[in-house]
Amino acid sequence: MKEALARLIQPLANQLVSAADFDEERVPAHLRMNFRAVDERGRVAGSGRDLRLLQEQLSDRARSSVARSVAQAENRTPKEPSAATRVAAASGRGPIEQDGLTAWTFGDLPEVLDTRVAGGVVRGYPAIVDQGRTVSVRVEATADAAAAATRSGVLRLMLLAVPSPSSYVQEHLTSHEKLALAASPYSSAAALIEDCRAAVVREVIERAAPGGIIRAEAEFARVRDIVSAALVDDLFACVSLVARILTKSREVERGIKAQNSLALLGPLNDIRTQLSGLLHPGFVSTTGVSRLANLPRYLEGMTDRLKTLADAPGKDRTRMTEYERMATVYADAGGAIPLPADASPALIETRWLLEEYRVSLFAQRLGTAQPVSPPRIMKVLAGR
């Protein structure tokens, strides 16, 4: 509701208005909706005036309840087989929920499972869940949770299914690339290359299966062959790009150290913050291969800013204020830098629009990858 109000008021007020500008605490309690969640027996499981918070608090319980209903349906007599039982029987691979999997051994995964419970229908959403070195098949309570989990689970299964060429790539890097990788924020060059492998595999999966979600065993095998064919070349290209990025980051660090005026402490700290937000452990897979190509331009933008900083500190301060205004709106909407793993698509898009906005303010000669302005940033956030 706050987002809708902001969209209505903004043209009337002729200034930027965001959902964060509304103070819910000032709304009388009797005018605020109260939400109540009940379990399968009609008992109150939780209540509150913040629906999103209530959903978060009960998410684990909801998932467990749905999974329990599906499991109970699997144990019914053969006279009344459930959807989950039919799925398990068709695949010949056992119950729908499984742990410790390192290969696709569970047959095709349906998008939904409907189970009749106490005269009603409980709908579950099967998902492949990444457990680190293995995956699990779980029944989630919502379609969004299942989609997010499956995207990561498919990536983990693909990483397990396709042999890693990381050692081969590391052995065949140039001396310059090895030197650049040795000074990365990762614990080792090997860890960085493994992160590059994850980013490359995700990129290839999403090219072959838009959205990165696979539910059929045959489709997984098809995409696995595509990944296997492309992985070595794409991994070399990704690692080479990362080496260029790290080399440019050293140039930025040297530019920061060359400034010795206390009056420039604010903008210098801002550049350091920008740099650490771009380059951190896991930044390759977090950024993604497609967006990684923009990082050299962002770093070049920092270098341009450093070159003009001492001569025009007032202009820089004005530009930084403009940027901080948009960064505050982003933070108020729940955004963070670096991005958390569960960030919404709107927050992800806005996070990278903010980098383009920096370029438009501090290094216009470099150009932006897409049109960017405060109204555009507000529009993207309004759709989150």
Query: Which string of DSSP letters, residue by residue, matches 127-151?
Result: EEEE-SSSEEEEEESSHHHHHHHHH
Residue type, 89: A
- Say if residue 78 is exposed, middle or buried (CB neighbours under 10 Å; 0-12, 13-18, 19+): exposed
Burial of 301 (0-12, 13-18, 19+ CB in 10 A): buried
pLDDT at 146 (0 to 100): 94
- At 78-134, the pLDDT tens digits run 545 554 554 444 343 446 889 999 999 999 999 998 877 666 677 889 999 999 999
Is there a contact between 77 and 63 (Cβ–Cβ < 8 Å)? no
8 Å CB contact between 106 and 98:
yes
Query: Which tokens is 128 given?
Result: 């492949």
Cβ atoms of 145 and 59 closer than 8 Å: yes
Helical ranges in the chain per DSSP H: 2-13, 51-74, 83-91, 143-161, 166-171, 175-182, 189-208, 217-258, 265-278, 283-287, 289-292, 295-309, 313-332, 345-362, 374-382
* Torsion sign over Cα 259, 261, 266, 267: negative
pLDDT of residue 21: 73
pTM as predicted: 0.77
Digit-by-digit pLDDT tens for the chain (384 residues) are: 666 777 777 666 666 676 667 777 677 766 777 777 666 555 666 777 676 676 666 566 655 555 555 555 555 545 455 545 544 443 434 468 899 999 999 999 999 988 776 666 778 899 999 999 999 999 998 899 999 999 999 999 999 999 999 999 999 999 999 999 999 999 999 999 999 999 999 999 999 999 999 999 999 999 999 999 999 999 999 999 999 999 999 999 999 999 988 889 999 999 999 999 999 999 999 999 999 999 999 999 999 999 999 899 999 999 999 999 999 999 999 999 999 888 889 999 999 999 999 999 999 999 999 999 999 999 998 875
